[in-house]
A and B are shown apart, each in its own frame.
Chain A
Amino acid sequence: MAYHSPYRAHPQGNPPVDQSFLWNIFQRVDKDRSGVISDSELQQALSNGTWTPFNPVTVRSIIAMFDKENKGGVNFNEFAGVWKYITDWQNIFRNFDRDNSGFIDRNELKQAMTGFGYRLSDQFYGTLIEKFDRQRKGQVAFDDFIQCCIVLQRLTDVFRRYDTDQDGWIQVSYEQYLSMVFNVV
């Protein structure tokens, strides 16, 4: 099965971060002192290592993941999750970005995805690079890499819900197909 055990939970393995260290960061990111870090505050604080603004869509996806009350931002408790999520992705990304260029190419992307359990064709990796390469370099930057993984994970989840016999194929009606895709993107 192509998608038997693709990458699921957040990357594991980092020791818990010191609270006072986190509080320090939280206060610096929370520029308007509202107690909640908004999309734009987080975007300004994040760097993708290439001197271009962090992908706003990625920021929105991450905030939405941790923002439990739908308040359009994260409080200190939720920020701990955001911090861990991003640093864990950073470690993964660094493993594949061997030359430290801030980008990973098609082969590296394939290695990463294969490591997460995805089994996809070379042609498909071409599509992924084409779609998630915002800077048009033929490679994927850190922020776009996270976004790519989030989208793949959500699409896989929704596909699996419909593929009840788990044979890697689904049969869907027009409206089912539309709601599958609209719920993800």
Chain B
Amino acid sequence: MLCHGWAVKPQINITIYGAVQLQNDQKTVTARTVPVSGRGDGGGFVCGSHKILGHCFYIWVTLRFLTGWGNVPPGVNPEAYQWFQTVDTDQSGFINLKELKQALVNSNWSSFNDETCLMMINMFDQTRSGRIDLFGFSALWNFLQQWRAMFQNCDRDRSGCISGTELHQALAQMGYNLSPQFCEMLVQRHGVRGRNFGIQLDRFIQVCTQLQSMTQLFKERDTAMVGNIRLSYEDFLSSAITRLM
């Protein structure tokens, strides 16, 4: 899954484990292996006389992870509940921008970009505090799963990124009537240079979410369905600002 999606970024001492396994058989790295081992850096708080205590804590966390033990509140996805504990590194009960950014990686191992993380926090921040609580995170979890599946589906040549042609096909499938040139423009703007040029998962989520929101706005204004809308200056500003950030 790491190859074509997102994952919780593994901590230092297990990166090698994850990477080796990734090379051997990309499909056997499951969502669970990484965060379970990720707790291995529990050594951070294991020091002196607390060593045994820390060790017990590590085993407890691992056990809880493997068994799903813990009180999952109603309405929260159990898997999301487990991830939440791992991502919430300062144990504050909230996920902030930094924690979210550290947790999410693209298929080329780059962190998710700030804009996408900020956008997702704004979308799922039910407390209006600039952070996400467990319930918001559960909704975000489902959101990410859906987009990851969509991304894998669109990435027909399995290159780990979406090219202009792939994006055009994908958007047409989702019901958008956009020209190949427009899709190419999006890829040029948001693409990352690497072995293959294209959009990574973070930008894919950002672009598709924005597209959804802008299209909805356009449809609301284009009541006669003529394909044109008339906007005043301030209307244009507020539509762009409220919808996009």
Which residues of A does B touch, CB under 8 Å? 2-3, 53, 56-57, 60, 120-121, 124, 127-128, 131, 134-136, 151-152, 155-156, 159, 163, 168-175, 177-185
Contact = CB atoms under 8 A, between A and B. Distances in A.
Nearest to B186: A182
B73 interface: no
B72 to A, nearest CB: 28
B232 A169 contact: yes
B209 to A, nearest CB: 12
B196 interface: no
A178 B231 contact: no
8 contacts: A2-B233, A120-B237, A168-B232, A171-B231, A175-B178, A178-B211, A178-B218, A179-B185
Nearest to A148: B241
Interface in B174-194: 177-179, 182, 185-186, 189
Given A60-B114, A124-B234, 19 more contacts: A2-B233, A3-B233, A57-B114, A120-B237, A127-B238, A131-B245, A136-B128, A155-B237, A159-B237, A168-B233, A169-B233, A174-B227, A175-B178, A175-B179, A178-B215, A178-B218, A179-B182, A179-B185, A184-B240
B182 A175 contact: yes
Interface of B: 97-98, 114-115, 118, 128-130, 177-179, 182, 185-186, 189, 207, 210-211, 214-215, 218, 222, 227-234, 236-238, 240-245
Given A127-B241, A175-B178, A182-B210, A2 B185 contact: no
Contacts of B130: 134-136
B244 A181 contact: yes
A156 B215 CA distance: 21
